[in-house]
Amino acid sequence: MQAIALDYQIDELLVEKTADEPEMLTRRTRKALEKLAKKQLPDISLRELRKEFQREVAGESSFDEIAYVADLRQQLERVQPVDDIQLIALAETRRAAIINQLTATNVLDPYANRNG
């Protein structure tokens, strides 16, 4: 649920960009994540985090943008709020899926235990 909430926020930020911009999706996603991180992860220094993903290869410095984006995304997912209503909805959806599967395979009587 936290990943879904973060995906929604990223999508909102990516929609703000025009379709004809030459930026690659990874770069645009990184920028969206950094924008969210500035608001939602105030104790994280993006500059210091970026340094962790700098690599020296044959005397040249390279930035592992994909790993950086994955790490930043993981940190943001952990701070996404999940309310009780979302948890209840998730539990109900799972309960219904289990009942549907069990009744479809004739393991459970479809009219037994429908209320709980």
* pLDDT bracket for residue 35 (50, 70, 90): very high
Q: Is the pTM of this model over 0.85?
A: no
pLDDT at 50 over 90: yes
In SS3 terms, the chain reads as CHHHHHHHHHHHHHHCCCCCCCCCHHHHHHHHHHHHHHHHCCCCCHHHHHHCCEEEECCEEEECHHHHHHHHHHHHHHCCCCCHHHHHHHHHHHHHHHHHHHHHCCCCCCCCCCCC
Sequence ranges of the domains in the chain: 2-81, 83-116
pLDDT at 31 over 60: yes
pLDDT at 78 over 60: yes
pLDDT given for residue 33 in this prediction = 93
Question: Which of the pair, 10 or 16, is modelled with greater confidence?
Answer: 10
Compute how many other C-beta atoms are within 10 angstroms of the C-beta atom of residue 29. Answer: 19
